[in-house]
């Protein structure tokens, strides 16, 4: 969504971008859909064209990931996640005033990449939210948090009361295509072997009844580093290919993330040790631990709990934070009143931080549900 459109839409709908926001938004419900098919890191390495002497599980902490089977794609993952989100919600589809689709991949039918009509239109029609405004947003792995930031702004300004942000990532084609090229640990496509497929959705609504809801969102772009991760259509096979400089990308992203996180904390008048749960982008266990150490050194504190869910799911791109949150809700690990910070890094280079307070969201999840 362009800056001009971000200004124009609130004006067209009767609000002023210069006016102090009157409301807060909150996460009302989350939805998840995971493909049934699993692929282990060992099986993935064994499928490489060249003999590769890499213990991928030990290197990344990823034991397995989910991958789409026949008939599954970005669209079906997103739709199934959206339905699951609605099942956990007090809202019905007709209550949604806006649907934002944020996936990197936009496969709808086999390996057909859909640009127009936007995937958000197909998703809202499938779930029964025909009256909702809709648009797609592309911001690499920061896609869903970008969609949340946009919808949060519309809710805070009183333009809408309720909407959905959704993403379906059939991103495993970059992994399959990387198996033809990876030879050593220095391969530019090695990071492609960490990804997994997933669909995730979240409903935001106007926060009422004293809920603190979403307290701060901060994003920054460092375009001088745009060449550190490049994804594009694969020239020799269906799907996409991705090339990265993983070590430099990680170093730059972690350093860039600290000012974003510090600014978000300052807006909430919080220190990092007052945060109960921190959800980083799920890349690899080593990268997360190294990032955790750097942040602690720079800010002099660390959140009470750092959430890592790589073991069985891998890096699920734009859905990663809400996949992790969904699991925490199911296991009863989040409690009302706790604060959570989501930290994203994405090619571009984009970094961002979102702080929210847990509230009655927890009531719809867990073993009893």
Mean pLDDT of the chain: 90
* Alpha-carbon torsion angle 73, 74, 79, 84, nearest 10: 90
pLDDT at site 368:
45
Place of tokens 């648009």: 135
Mean pLDDT over residues 188-211, rounded? 92
Q: What is the pLDDT of residue 127?
A: 97
**Domain 214-364, CATH class in plain words:** alpha beta
Q: Which two tokens stand for residue 211?
A: 């809920």
Interval 229-240: pLDDT, tens: 888 888 888 888
In 117-192, DSSP assigns E strands to 133-136, 162-169
Q: Please say if the pLDDT value at position 2 is more than 70.
A: no
At a CB cut-off of 8 Å and minimum separation 6, what does 24 contact? 155, 156, 206, 207, 211, 212, 213, 214, 215
For residues 57 and 239, which has the higher predicted lDDT (pLDDT)? Answer: 57
DSSP H/E element including 229: strand 229-233
β-bridge mates for residue 16, sequence order? none
What percentage of the chain exceeds 90 in pLDDT?
A: 75
Averaged pLDDT for residues 234-253:
87
Same CATH topology for 3-206 and 214-364: the answer is: yes
Question: Positive or negative CA dihedral for 66, 70, 73, 76?
Answer: negative
| Domain boundaries, given as residue ranges, for the chain | 3-206, 214-364
Distance CA 173, CA 4 (A): 34
Q: State pTM to two decimals.
A: 0.91
Whether 92 has a pLDDT exceeding 90, the answer reads: yes
pLDDT at 20: 56
Q: Tokens standing for 161? A: 């009361």
CATH number for 3-206: choose from 1.10.3720.10, 3.40.47.10, 3.30.450.20, 3.40.640.10: 3.40.47.10
The reported pLDDT for the residue numbered 7 is 46
- Is residue 193 scored above 60 in pLDDT? yes
Q: How many angstroms separate the CA atoms of 74 and 171, rounded?
A: 8
């Amino acid at each position: 969504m362009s800056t001009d459109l971000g200004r124009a839409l609130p004006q067209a709908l009767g609000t002023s971008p210069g006016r102090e926001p009157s409301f807060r938004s909150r996460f009302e419900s989350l939805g998840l859909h995971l493909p049934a098919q699993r692929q282990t890191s060992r099986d993935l390495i064994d499928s490489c064209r060249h003999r590769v002497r890499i213990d991928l599980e030990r290197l990344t902490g990823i034991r397995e990931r989910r991958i789409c089977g026949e008939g599954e794609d970005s669209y079906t993952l997103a739709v199934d996640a959206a339905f699951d989100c609605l099942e956990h919600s007090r809202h019905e589809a007709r209550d949604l005033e806006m649907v934002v689709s944020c996936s990197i991949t936009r496969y709808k039918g086999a390996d057909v990449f859909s640009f127009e009509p936007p995937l958000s239109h197909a998703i809202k029609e499938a779930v029964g939210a025909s009256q909702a405004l809709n648009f797609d947003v592309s911001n690499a792995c920061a896609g869903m948090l970008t969609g949340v930031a946009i919808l949060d702004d519309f809710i805070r300004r009183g333009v809408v009361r309720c909407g959905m942000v959704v993403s379906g990532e059939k991103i495993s084609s970059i992994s399959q295509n990387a198996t033809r090229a990876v030879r050593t640990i220095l391969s530019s496509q090695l990071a492609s072997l960490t990804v997994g497929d997933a669909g995730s959705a979240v409903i935001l609504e106007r926060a009422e009844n004293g809920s603190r809801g979403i307290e701060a969102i901060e994003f920054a772009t460092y375009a001088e580093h745009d060449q550190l991760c490049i994804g594009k259509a694969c020239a020799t096979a269906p799907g996409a290919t991705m090339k990265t400089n993983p070590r430099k990308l990680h170093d730059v992203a972690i350093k860039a993330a600290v000012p974003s996180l510090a600014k978000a904390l300052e807006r909430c008048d919080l220190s990092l040790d007052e945060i109960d749960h921190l959800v980083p982008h799920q890349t690899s266990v080593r990268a997360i631990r190294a990032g955790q150490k750097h942040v602690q050194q720079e800010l002099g504190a660390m959140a009470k709990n750092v959430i890592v869910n790589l073991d069985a799911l891998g890096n699920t791109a734009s859905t990663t934070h809400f996949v992790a949150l969904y699991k925490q809700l199911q296991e009863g690990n989040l409690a009302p009143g706790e604060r959570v910070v989501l930290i994203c890094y994405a090619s571009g280079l984009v970094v961002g931080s979102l702080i929210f307070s847990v509230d009655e969201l927890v009531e719809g999840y867990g073993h009893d549900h």
